[in-house]
Structures are given as structure tokens and as C-alpha cells.
């Protein structure tokens, strides 16, 4: 008699989990994402519009930008031919393990292990338009 109740519940639960894994929702950030960016990314990337001369491409406006497309930046062939539009989800995939997501990339970064930190930093990037 419980089966009929339990099934929809399990369905709801797995939907919720799948949703979280997609890194789609951004709760008010309260500085966590900015902190992760400062610790993990800022050594190579700037989010100050127009700033050049760093090892990585400027990430102001990266959400919604085509991969490997920032004018004047010398991307790897791998990144230039990746041909995706950067969104929270695929940036989270990139920073999980860059060499796995874009084999041959110049981004010399081992990956960010914490899903919480990945979520926070992509939400931070969404705000840097
Ligand atoms: C040690 C330097 C370094 C670190 C640290 C680093 N990156 Fe990168 N990143 C690069 C380089 C270099 C590229 C260009 C890769 C290529 O051309 O293959 C890149 C490319 C990217 C791109 C693609 C941009 C585009 O215009 O297509 C994104 C998004 C990105 N990085 C996000 C991040 C985030 C977020 C972090 C921190 C969690 C991070 N990176 C940490 C060096 C770095």
C-alpha cells in the first residue's frame, strides 16, 4: 500500500538532484563565488572589461560567449574548435577537469574538486557581464 506513495516521492527527489547537478540556479552569492574566483582563477583571468596581458582570456561577459572567440587572445586549436556557447553548466564542466573537457587546452589548471565552489564561481561569472 506504500508503493504508490513512495514512487512519486522518489521521482521528485531525483528530479531535484538532477537539477542541482546542472548548476543552473544561482542563489544570492554573498561573496563565496568572488572568493573562489580570487583564489582559483584570478592568477590567470581578469573580469575587468578590456583588461589584457594575463595568461588566460578575459572572462568579463564569458557567459553567453562562444568558446575561443575573444579577439586578440591566442587560444589553443583545441579551444578554438570546441565550438560551444559558454553557459554555467559547461563552464562548471570545464573547471572540473579542463583537460578532459577540452583535450589539448592551454589552460594549465588541475580542476576544482568542490561542486559547491564550482557552482559559486560560475554564478559569480554570470554576474560579470
Ligand atoms: C594557470 C592559469 C589558469 C587558471 C588558474 C585558470 N585558467 Fe581558465 N584559462 C587559462 C587559459 C590559458 C585559457 C585558454 C585555454 C585555451 O586556449 O585552450 C583558459 C580558458 C578558460 C575559459 C574559456 C574562455 C574562452 O574565451 O573561451 C574559461 C571559461 C575559463 N578559462 C575559466 C576559468 C575559471 C572559472 C577558472 C578558476 C576556477 C580558471 N579558468 C582557472 C588559464 C587558466
What integer pLDDT is reported at residue 65 of this predicted model? Answer: 98
Q: Is pLDDT at 14 greater than 90 in this prediction?
A: no
| Ligand 1 atom showing the smallest separation from residue 75 Cα | 17
At 24 the pLDDT is 58
pLDDT per position as a tens digit, 17-42: 444 444 557 877 779 999 999 999 99
pLDDT tens, residue by residue, 41-52? 999 999 999 999
Residue nearest to atom 26 of ligand 1 (CA): 68
Q: What is the pLDDT of residues 62-75, one digit of tens each?
A: 999 999 999 999 99
Q: Which domains does the chain have, with CATH numbers?
A: 3-127 (1.10.760.10)
How far does residue 56's CA lie from ligand 1's centre (Å)? 5
List the alpha helices (DSSP H) in 1-129.
3-21, 32-40, 77-80, 88-96, 98-101, 115-127
What is this structure's pTM? 0.86
Amino acid at each position: 500500500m506504500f508503493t504508490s506513495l513512495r514512487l512519486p516521492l522518489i521521482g521528485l527527489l531525483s528530479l531535484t538532484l538532477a537539477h542541482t547537478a546542472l548548476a543552473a540556479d544561482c542563489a544570492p552569492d554573498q561573496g563565496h563565488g568572488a572568493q573562489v574566483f580570487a583564489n582559483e582563477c584570478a592568477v590567470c583571468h581578469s573580469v575587468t572589461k578590456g583588461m589584457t596581458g594575463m595568461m588566460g582570456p578575459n572572462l568579463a561577459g564569458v557567459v553567453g560567449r562562444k568558446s575561443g572567440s575573444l579577439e586578440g587572445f591566442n587560444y589553443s586549436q583545441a579551444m578554438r574548435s570546441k565550438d560551444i556557447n559558454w553557459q554555467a553548466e559547461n563552464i562548471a564542466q570545464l573547471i572540473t577537469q579542463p583537460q578532459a573537457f577540452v583535450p589539448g587546452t592551454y589552460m594549465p589548471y588541475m580542476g576544482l574538486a568542490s561542486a559547491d565552489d564550482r557552482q559559486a564561481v560560475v554564478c559569480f561569472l554570470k554576474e560579470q557581464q
